[in-house]
Amino acid sequence: LPRQPAASPLLALDIGGTLIKLVYTASCGGGGAGAAELRFAKFERRRLQECFQFIRAEGLLGCNGGTRPSRENMTLKATGGGAYKFADDFREKLGVCLDKLDEMDSVVSGANFLLQNIPGAAFTHMNGQRNPINVSPNNLFPYLLVNIGSGVSILKVTGNRKFERVTGTHIGGGTMFGLAKLLTGCKSYDEFLQLSQKGDNFVLDLIVKDICGELVCQKQGLSTSTLASSFGKVITSKKMLTDYKPEDLASTLLSAFTYNIAQIAFLVASLLGLRRVFFGGSYIRGHRSTMENISYAIDFWSQSQMQAVFLRHEGYLGALGALMSYGD
Ligand code: ADP
């Protein structure tokens, strides 16, 4: 970790389109001088006031016996679009300035920090198995980083601080969760994920068998259960929205968006000749079947030539990168 004055916590923020992510240091008891651990917290962006309360209550501005000279001089490292939008609120409510950092720069720094410093931070999740993967600085670069937040950013990373934002898509986590709120009435993302877990996407999804019939599929060597059209069954059904179970709607939404993003990731990785694709962003949320579906899609489209890799603390890459910049 970057060096810091004793007893003075470090705090960095990533204020995104949906969530505010905080990464901060806390000295751990009995750890000896300078020992610190990283802690993580997140707030919905609309709950900025709760975030301020948390920062105060946790003494993250160094006021609990901290050594900061005065808050007026205090600057917090912050990234994400909200670092610009809410800079005045931070000054007025907390009396701190935000040092605004480039979002992509921060995400890449955060990913590289995790990959190079935290053993077991990277893992695969396929066929029900979670396996850590070993990355060394010699075999790490280049890789594709797909950060799935409100929107999706896709970056080619060639080294520490060396990257290019290749492309992205506006059809991301915000789109899915927005539709989920409208269609299922879910109140939180975790509730949505739990619903999806209990649902069956084949109630709404059209699969190849539905179009061709089982016999033709077999003759032509097509896999009967391959998705032909997400939500496609709705068109020919007399059912209204309220006739569908929220669980089935949630399951259909999650598979539609997850497969779509994974396919875009595969296509970009193919164009760039990259075989390893790391996924980050709060969309993934450590959720088992999201990771399974991404892995399946990458493996399917690449004919096992590419690997989907996930990261612990995947939603905090930008905030971690911002925290690392205290050492610059
Ligand atoms: P951003 O920086 O754009 O806010 P994040 O990486 O924080 O992006 O991801 C936001 C997305 O993660 C949401 O659009 C949603 O799909 C998902 N998500 C995960 N947890 C939550 C949550 N608690 N509230 C809202 N969305 C969440």
Nearest Cα neighbor of 83 from 73, 105, 98 is 98
Q: For residue 186, how far is its CA from the centre of ligand 1 (angstroms)?
A: 14
Residues 259 and 321 in one domain: no
Residue at 36: amino acid letter:
A
CATH code, domain with 257? 3.30.420.40
DSSP 8-state secondary structure symbol assigned to residue 174: H
Residue nearest to atom 25 of ligand 1 (CA): 189
For residue 83, the CA-to-ligand 1 centroid distance in Å is 16
Note whether 177 and 66 are same-domain residues: no
Do 177 and 99 sit in the same domain of this protein? no
179 CA from centroid of ligand 1 (Å): 14
C-alpha triplet 75, 79, 85: angle, nearest 5°: 85
Structure letter (DSSP) for residue 137: H
Helix, strand or coil for residue 253?
Answer: helix
Whether 33 and 69 share a structural domain: yes
Residue nearest to atom 9 of ligand 1 (CA): 149
Report the CATH number that the domain containing residue 84 is assigned in CATH.
3.30.420.510
Residues 69 and 98 in one domain: yes
Tell me: do 255 and 321 sit in the same domain: no
Q: Indicate which atom in ligand 1 lies nearest the CA of residue 177.
A: 16
179 and 281 fall within a common domain = yes
Q: Does residue 124 form part of some domain?
A: no
- Give the three-state DSSP class for 114: helix
The pocket around ligand 1, CB under 6 angstroms, is made up of: 16-19, 44, 80, 149-150, 173-174, 176-177, 189, 281-283, 285, 315
What are the angstrom distances between the C-alpha of 67 and each of 55, 58, 70, 99, 246? 16, 15, 9, 20, 52
Q: Are residues 187 and 276 in the same domain?
A: yes
> In this structure, are 250 and 321 located in the same domain?
no
Number of domains in the chain: 2
For ligand 1, the distance from its centroid to the CA atom of residue 235, given in whole angstroms, is: 30
Q: Which atom of ligand 1 is nearest to the CA of 19?
A: 4
Same-domain check for residues 297 and 321: no
Per-residue pLDDT of the chain (328 residues; tens, 9 = 90+): 554 444 579 999 999 999 999 999 998 765 555 678 999 999 999 999 999 999 999 999 975 434 444 556 799 999 999 999 999 999 999 999 999 999 999 999 999 999 999 999 999 999 999 999 988 878 899 999 999 999 999 999 999 999 999 999 999 999 999 999 999 999 999 999 999 999 999 999 999 989 888 888 888 877 888 899 999 999 999 999 999 999 999 999 999 999 999 999 999 999 999 999 999 999 999 999 999 999 999 999 999 999 999 999 999 999 999 999 998 8
Beta bridge partners of 153: 147, 168
Q: Is residue 110 part of a domain?
A: no
Verdict on whether the full-model pTM lies above 0.90 = yes
| CA of 277 relative to ligand 1 center, distance in Å | 20
In a domain, 121, yes or no: no
* Distance between Cα 133 and ligand 1 center (Å): 26
Structural domain contains residue 18: yes
Note the Cα 327 to chain centre separation in Å: 24
Domain that residue 85 falls in: 11-103+317-327
- Whether 38 and 96 map to the same domain: the answer is yes
